[in-house]
Chains A and B, each alone.
Chain A
Amino acid sequence: MPGTLAKAVALTLLVAAVLVPLWAVLVTSLASRGTIDDAGGMVMVPREIDPSAYITIFSGGDVTRAVWISTLVTVLGTTLSLVLTVLAAYGLSRPGSVAHRGLLFYFLLTFLIFPGLVPSYLVVTGLGLKDNIWSLILPSAISVFNLVVIRAFFMNVPAELLDSARIDGAGELRILTRIVLPLSRAVIAVVGLFYAVGYWNAYFNAVLYIDSNDKFPIQRVLQSYILAGQSPNVSGTAVSLPGVTAYPPTLAVKMAVVVVTVIPAVIIYPFVQRHFTKGMITGAVKG
Chain B
Amino acid sequence: MKPSLPGASTDRRTMLRLLGLGAAATVGGTALAGCSKEAGSQGSATSADAIKAVLPTYQRVELLKPDIAGEGPIPDGYLSYPSQLVDAVTEAPGRGGPPIKTMSPWWGPAPPPLGRNAYLAAVNGKLGVEVDPSLQDGNTYADKLNAMLGARDVPDLLCAPNWEVDKVARFSDAVKALFTDLTDHLKGDAAAKYPYLASLPSGAWEYSVWGGRLYAVPFPTDGPFAYALFHRRDLLDPAGLAAPTTPEELYEFGKKATDPAKGVWAFGSVFEMVQQFFGCQQTWRKKPDGGLEHKYENPAFAAALEFTARLFAEGLVHPDTAASRGADEKQLFKAGKILMYQDGLGAWQGMQSERVKELSTFDMQPLPVFGASGGQPVIWGSEKPVFWTFLKKDLAPERVDELLGVLNWCAAPFGSREFELREFGAEGQHFSRGADGTPTPTELGRKELGAQYTHIGGRVPVKVRSGDTPEYVQDYIGYYRKHIATMEKDLFAGIKLELPANWSKNLQPTDDKIRDIVRGRRPVGDIEQVRKEFMDTGGEEGRAFHEKALADNGR
Q: B-contacting residues of A (Cβ < 8 Å)? A: 33, 37-41, 60-62, 77, 81, 111, 114, 116-118, 121-122, 125, 130, 136-137, 139-141, 143-146, 194-195, 197-199, 201-205, 207-208, 211-214, 216, 220-221, 223-225, 227-249, 251
Contact = CB atoms under 8 A, between A and B. Distances in A.
A136 B140 CA distance: 17
Contacts of B329: 238
Nearest to B459: A243
Nearest to A243: B454
Given A220-B137, A243-B451, A229 B107 contact: yes
Interface stretch (B7-15, B241-249, B528-536): B7-15
A247 B138 CA distance: 15
Nearest to B346: A240
B89 interface: no
Given A121-B151, A227-B139, A235 B163 contact: yes
B139 A116 contact: no
A231 B344 contact: yes
Given A114-B19, A224-B137, A242-B461, 13 more contacts: A41-B331, A117-B147, A121-B147, A205-B9, A207-B136, A211-B136, A221-B110, A224-B106, A231-B107, A231-B330, A233-B30, A242-B221, A242-B346
A33 B358 CA distance: 9
A233 B31 CA distance: 10
A46 to B, nearest CB: 18
B506 interface: no
A202 B7 contact: yes
Interface residues of B, number: 91
A198 to B, nearest CB: 3
Contact of B112 (A61, A121, A195): A61
Contacts of B350: 240, 245
B222 interface: yes
B84 interface: no
A249 B331 CA distance: 12
A81 to B, nearest CB: 7
A205 B5 contact: no
A213 B5 contact: no
A252 to B, nearest CB: 12
A195 B6 contact: yes
Interface in B24-71: 24, 27-30, 33
B441 interface: yes
A62 B108 CA distance: 12
A81 B6 contact: yes
Contact of A41 (B11, B137, B328, B344): B328
Nearest to B147: A121
B414 to A, nearest CB: 13
Interface in B506-527: 507-508, 511, 515
A139 B147 CA distance: 15
Given A117-B22, A243-B451, A194 B107 contact: no
A216 B450 CA distance: 16
Contact of B110 (A62, A111, A234, A245): A62
A211 B103 contact: yes
B7 A201 contact: yes
B446 A247 contact: yes
A66 to B, nearest CB: 10
Given A235-B30, A239-B344, A205 B7 contact: yes
A98 to B, nearest CB: 26
Interface stretch (B194-202, B287-295, B332-340): B332-340
B346 A223 contact: no
B135 interface: yes
B156 interface: no
Nearest to A246: B108
A227 B346 contact: no
A37 to B, nearest CB: 5
A236 B507 CA distance: 11
Contacts of B346: 231, 239-242, 244
Given A227-B137, A227-B139, A247-B441, A197 B511 contact: no
* 6 closest cross-chain pairs (CB), A and B: A140-B6, A198-B5, A240-B347, A118-B150, A204-B9, A240-B346
A263 to B, nearest CB: 19
A195 B508 CA distance: 36
B373 interface: no
A208 B144 contact: yes
B111 A194 contact: no
A143 B30 contact: no
20 contacts: A37-B358, A40-B337, A41-B328, A117-B12, A118-B151, A140-B5, A143-B6, A207-B143, A207-B144, A213-B111, A213-B134, A227-B28, A227-B107, A232-B105, A234-B30, A239-B343, A240-B345, A242-B223, A242-B461, A243-B386
Contacts of A137: 6
Nearest to B271: A237
Nearest to A149: B3
B147 A145 contact: no
A247 to B, nearest CB: 5
B113 A213 contact: yes
A128 to B, nearest CB: 12
